[in-house]
Amino acid sequence: MNDMRAALYDRYGPPEVLYEGRLPVPDITPDQVLVRVHAVSVNGGEVAGRAGKIRVVTGRRFPQRTGIDFVGEIAKVGTGTSLNEKRANNRAGDRVGDRVWGFMGRTSLGSAAEYVAISPGRIAPAPAGLTPAEAVSLLAGGTTALTALRDKARLRPGERLLVRGGAGGVGSVAVQLGKGYGAHVTALASAAGADFVRGLGADEVLDYRTTRPADLGRFDVVLDTVGTEQRAYRGLLAPGGRMVAIAFDAARPLPSIAYILASTVHGPRRIRIFSGNPDRRLLAEVTERVETDGIRPVVDTVRPLSEIGAAHSALEAGGVRGKHIIQII
């Protein structure tokens, strides 16, 4: 086991810059584990990174890698990790061969590969009863939606929740969580996806192409997974309302980000934002919710690693139902 397949790109640009290349299998430090990756999902931040829209984070060194999340199995445990010390306890997620899911880290990319070296604090047992593709479809969406609705918006029973992008990876989980919290859920999605989003539990689904913010009523919580028209959707908040933004306008990134940042500190109905950086505790919470609450995975497509460029193209084209998945093995 000397080298591995990995998704790479040698310059910023369209999805076609992505290719399947080879890299050495990472060596783990004593405080890391080696995970053999089964599946990853494609997320908006990776698309923006590949296109060169966040160079302040991604830098200018090439080749660059992509992928932030993964489902796989532990292949090797570092001699100095807490997992190695707890092997005798026989706990799930502690042993070589155990099925886990996790994230690379706030500024790290590279899960779209056969192996990743990772801290034990960034993995947890993956949900039982799901395929790797199904499980990873819930990972980024589950951790983001749970943090947004429970921790940032503090959504309460009986409140009115608006989910922009109700059919997407985050939105599809947020609709389900919102109903679980006892909220009245309105979702914006395409007309073609309306029945699908209703099936997730939405009380009302409106076509985002024909519904303008002025056509909508007031909401206690707005979850924005799209990033456009932020001022207009913020204006829909009822007194005491909360808006959580997890996306910016990719066509106008700097003005969009500036508005969001200013809105977090000035004026009423401040926008909540956060940097997704799930730890083992949050990952384990999502695993428990998936297993006990029956949160449905939503997989749009499953492609091999060699077709990662096509997956990026599909995400950019829109009309997504759930997640585009890359199956590594």
Do 87 and 18 lie in one domain? The reply is: yes
Do 9 and 126 lie in one domain? The reply is: yes
Structure-block tokens of residue 232:
């207009």
**Predicted confidence (pLDDT) per residue in 72-108, tens digit:** 999 999 987 765 544 444 455 679 999 999 999 766 8
Pick the closest to residue 8 from 117, 112, 116, 118 (CA basis).
112
Task: Say what the pLDDT of residue 87 is.
Answer: 46
**What CATH number has the domain bearing residue 128?**
3.90.180.10
Task: Say what the pLDDT of residue 56 is.
Answer: 82
Q: How far apart are CA 193 and CA 224, in angstroms?
A: 18
Task: Say what the pLDDT of residue 250 is.
Answer: 65
Residues with Cβ within 8 Å of 281's Cβ and at least 6 positions away in sequence, in order, are none
Residue 215 lies in a domain: yes
In order, the DSSP letters of 123-192 are EEEPPTT--HHHHHHHHHHHHHHHIIIIIIS---TT-EEEEETTTBHHHHHHHHHHHHTT-EEEEEE-GG
Do 116 and 8 lie in one domain? The reply is: yes
Residue 217 lies in a domain: yes
Radius of gyration of the chain (CA): 20
- Give me the residues of the chain with pLDDT under 70, please: 1, 82-93, 106-107, 249-251, 253-255, 266-268
**CA distances (Å), origin 59, targets 9, 98, 289:** 13, 35, 37
**What CATH number has the domain bearing residue 252?**
3.40.50.720
In order, the DSSP letters of 141-153 are HHHHHHIIIIIIS
Do 127 and 220 lie in one domain? The reply is: no
Which of 272, 290, 315 terminates a domain? The answer is 272
Q: How far apart are CA 180 and CA 28, in angstroms?
A: 40
Residue 164 · residue 188 · CB < 8 Å: yes
Residue 145 lies in a domain: no
**Predicted confidence (pLDDT) per residue in 36-54, tens digit:** 999 999 998 899 899 998 8
Task: Say what the pLDDT of residue 106 is.
Answer: 67
Q: How far apart are CA 179 and CA 155, in angstroms?
A: 10
Grouping H, G, I as helix, E, B as strand and the rest as coil, residue 225 is coil
**CA distances (Å), origin 87, targets 54, 74, 78, 91, 296:** 41, 13, 12, 7, 32
Do 256 and 163 lie in one domain? The reply is: yes
4's enclosing H/E stretch is strand 3-9
Residue 143 lies in a domain: no
Do 9 and 109 lie in one domain? The reply is: yes
The position carrying tokens 């599909």 is 314
Our separate counts of H helices and E strands in the chain read 10, 16
Grouping H, G, I as helix, E, B as strand and the rest as coil, residue 84 is helix
Do 132 and 16 lie in one domain? The reply is: yes
Do 207 and 256 lie in one domain? The reply is: yes
- Overall domain count for the chain: 2
User: Which domain covers residue 159, as residue numbers?
Assistant: 153-272
Do 266 and 291 lie in one domain? The reply is: no
